[in-house]
Structure formats: C-alpha cells, structure tokens
Amino acid sequence: METVRIGIIGIGNMGSSHAQNITEGKVPGLRLTAVADRRESRRQWARETLAADVTIFAEGDDLIKSGSCDAVIIAVPHYQHPPLAIEAFANNLHVMCEKPAGVYTKQVREMIAAADHSDRVFGMMFNQRTNCVYRKMHEMVQSGKFGAIKRVNWIITNWYRTQAYYDSGDWRATWDGEGGGVLLNQCPHQLDLLQWICGMPQQVRAFCLNGHWHDIEVEDDVTAYLKYANGATGVFVTTTADAPGTNRLEITLEMGKLVCENDRLSLFLLDQNEREFCYTAKGGFDTPGCQEIQVETDGQNEQHVGVLKAFAGRILNGTPLVADGREGIHGLMLSNAMHLSSWLEQTVDLPIDEDLFLRELNKRRAGSRHKQAVDVTFDTRDSYGS
C-alpha cells in the first residue's frame, strides 16, 4: 500500500477541515475517497467542493461497509464516536477518532476492546500534543530531571462563548445531545495534556456549575481540586464566560517551576532541590536561589495535519502515532470524575465507578431538552449525527 484511502464521517466544521487538508495535499499518504453526513447541506457542500471521485454517503455505516476506504476519520457528535469506531474495526478499517473519545468511559472501553481485537491502527485527534511548548513540558516533567511534581495549576478560561453559540444547534450544551458542556466540548485537549504531562490524579473534588452564565443545562463554569499519589495537588479552572480569558499552566516541581502562557515556556530553576533546602537551611526565612530561563523548543506545531501525517505513517510504515486511540480514555476519566464529584457533592477516587457515572448521566439525559430520535437504552448504539 502506497496511499491510504480515507473516508470522513461527519463533514461539519472539523470534518470539512480535515477533508480540505487532505485534498490540498497537506497529508502525504492519505487520499480522500468518501465522506458521509446526514445533513443534505453538508453533502451539497461536498458535491460542490470535493473531487468528483469522492463518494458521498448519508450514513456512516454505509461508508464503512462500502469498501471504498482503508481508514476513517470519525468527526460526529460525541456519543457516536465509539459505536462508529467499533463498526469500522469490525469492517477491518483503521480509525482516527476526533476528541473526545466518547461521553462516558464505560462506552469507550468497548471501543478499546474492539481495537484490541483488530489489527488496525487506532488514533485519537489530540492535536495539541503536536504543540512544541506542550511537547517540551512533557519531556521535561517526565524526564525526572527537575524532581517530583508538587503542584499543578491550570486556568483555561479563554473559551468565551455567547448565548448565540449555544442556540446554534438544539443538541449543543445538552446532556442527551452533547453529553456535557465546557469539560466535554472545549477542554478535552487540556484534560488530555494534563494527564499526559503530569499523570493521573488519585482523587478529584469538583464544582461544576450548570447554566451559571448561559441558558444551558450543562456546565459552563468548573473548579476542580486534584490530589496525586505522591502528595502533589492541583487545581483546574475553566469556563466559557470569562472575557478576557486566561490560559496559564503552572507546574511546580522540586527543582523549580514551569510556566506556560502566551505560547511561551519559562523555567524558574532553583539552585537546590526545595525538599532538601527546606530541611537544611539555617534561617527560617531563607529561600533557595532561582533563575528564570526561557525554554527553547523546536518551534514545530503541526496540529491536525501533524496528527494525520503520523496516522498515515503508522499505517504505511509502522512509525509512531501522536496519540494512540486507547489513550483517549484518560482525559475522559478526568472529565467524568469532575462531573461525578459535582453531582454527588463529594470527593471521588480514580478510576471512577463507571456504572454509577452512567446511571447519574442517564438521569440527566432522561430530562434533557434534546432527545435523540433513536435512543431508548442510552447504550453505545446511539443514533449519530454531525
């Protein structure tokens, strides 16, 4: 195989962007051969925009079974990611899944099991892992050179959205249509990066405010406290209502602090390990010496194109993915833990009780403003749309 024939299920904002990147030749090794979308307006866009040899389907299942593709990109609403991926694996197709992996971890475990039973490549569209700043943070923290993590703070509030945004689709910001709010829509990348760089916490206590700043039924304001196995703590703050917003990630380590803000990475490097200094310093107000260093990176940030290049490379040459699809469950576990903690008004341990989470989610889906046309059991066979 010299090129991978790829189909895209869901050609809304993200799907159409992937289609254009591929057709413009930005992803060597991928050739777009099919797209699917239930909306006639999007299929008309495909007829007018894409090459004549790209087959257009209304149903993702039909695309999967058509034989026109070797791989698929799944870019539909969140609940439908796992069932379509499972169907694709069953038909011997490679899968690239848009974030998040799904809405609840129990559903995603079924997707992972399907991937494990196939010999196909499974990738997750965690394009922020291609960002040179986050890659460098991952490298520095995971190296152990700067000691253990002591504290993590991420305030990510530059997601400002108006009421008009939420009113643009009846599925938006509903428990049944989208499965959550800012945690599931805007923050999957940050939750993935948080666990990729720092590892998974052991406990979460979160406060998710539903419809606090907008007329919606899901969370638009979140503050979460994290506790790690080594005693480190963390705080994660996000909202879609702050103007202007902030995006600042601080990681305090035994040898200093990393600060990422405005696409710059700074290292505040201590002269001595703080844990050693604390117990050897003679003065009660002594502080270790510190120097600020602007961390150099390779400057590369290929985003979605980089993820797709790696996907093609894995299929054709066995080279590494940016993110294996199985890793998608980790950030979702954090999201689910934050929701569950807020719903129960208590601290929750990770991994969470997945059956309890699903019961609590289904209570909210049952009373949701948006009800999907085909959905009575709230299982992985939810009807998909784009």
Domain of residue 311, CATH code: 3.40.50.720
| Domain span holding position 15 | 4-127+303-323
Whether residue 45 is found in the same domain as residue 175: no
What is the model's pTM?
0.94
What's the longest Cα–Cα distance across the chain?
A: 77
Residue 384 belongs to a domain:
no
Q: What is the pLDDT of residue 26?
A: 98
Tell me how crowded residue 324 is: count the other CB atoms within 10 A of its CB: 16
Torsion of CA 123, 322, 98, 360, to 10 degrees: 90
Reported as type and span, the H/E element at residue 88 is helix 81-90
Q: Based on the domain organization, do 167 and 285 belong to the same domain?
A: yes
User: Which letter does DSSP use for residue 241 in this model?
Assistant: -
* Tens digit of each residue's pLDDT (9 = 90 or more) over 106-152: 999 999 999 999 999 999 999 999 999 999 999 999 999 999 999 99
* φ/ψ of residue 185, rounded to 5: -95, -55
- The two beta strands, 149-156 and 247-253, are antiparallel
Q: Looking at the structure, tell me whether residues 264 and 310 fall in a common domain.
A: no
Residues (pLDDT < 50) of the chain are 373-386
Q: Are residues 90 and 154 in the same domain?
A: no
- β-bridge pairing 264-270 and 233-239: unpaired
Rounded Cα distance between 189 and 327, Å, is 12
- Asked whether residue 284 falls in the same domain as residue 220, the answer is yes
**Which amino acid appears at position 301 of this protein?**
N
List, in sequence order, every beta strand (DSSP E) within 98-241.
122-124, 149-156, 203-210, 219-227, 233-239
DSSP label at 324? B
| Residue located via tokens 């703590």 | 233
Is the residue at 340 inside a domain? no
Residues 192 and 120 grouped into a single domain: no
| CA Rg value for the chain | 22
Inside any domain, residue 164: yes
> Looking at residue 280, what is its pLDDT?
98
Region of 318 please: left (phi>0), alpha (psi -120 to 50) or beta: left
Residue 373: inside a domain, yes or no? no
Report the CATH number that the domain containing residue 188 is assigned in CATH.
Answer: 3.30.360.10
Order of strands across the sheet that contains 219-227: 290-294, 264-270, 256-261, 247-253, 149-156, 233-239, 219-227, 203-210, 348-349
Residues 139, 121, single domain; the answer is: no
* pLDDT number for residue 374: 35
Q: Please tell me the distance from the alpha carbon of residue 269 to that of residue 291, in angstroms, as a whole number.
A: 5
- Decide: residue 245, CB within 10 A, 0-12 exposed, 13-18 middle, 19+ buried: middle
Residue 371 lies in a domain: no
State the Cα–Cα distance between residues 337 and 207, nearest whole angstrom.
Answer: 11
Our count of domains for the chain comes to: 2
Place of tokens 């030749």: 25
Residues 123 and 134 both lie in one domain: no
What integer pLDDT is reported at residue 372 of this predicted model?
A: 52
In a domain, 361, yes or no: no
Residues 6+ apart with CB under 8 A from 249: 137, 152, 153, 154, 156, 258, 259, 260, 261
d(C-alpha 199, C-alpha 206), whole Å = 18
Q: Is position 357 within any domain?
A: no
Same domain, 150 and 284: yes
Name the pairing type of β-strands 4-9 and 71-74: parallel
DSSP 237: E
Quick check: bond before 83 cis, omega within 30?
no
Report the candidate in 176, 222, 128, 97 with the shortest Cα–Cα distance to residue 362: 176
CB contact burial 350-383 (16+ within 10 A = b; e otherwise)? bebebeebbebbeebbeebebebeeeeebebebe
Question: Are 116 and 214 part of one and the same domain?
Answer: no
- Asked whether residue 266 falls in the same domain as residue 316, the answer is no
Written as one string, the DSSP assignment of 245-269 is --EEEEEEETTEEEEEETTEEEEEE
Domain boundary residue among 294, 313, 339? 294
pLDDT per residue over 265-312, tens digit each? Answer: 999 999 999 999 999 999 999 999 999 999 999 999 999 999 999 999
> Residues 114, 145: one domain?
no
Residue 254 located in a structural domain: yes
Rounded to whole angstroms, the Cα distance separating 137 from 326 reads 22
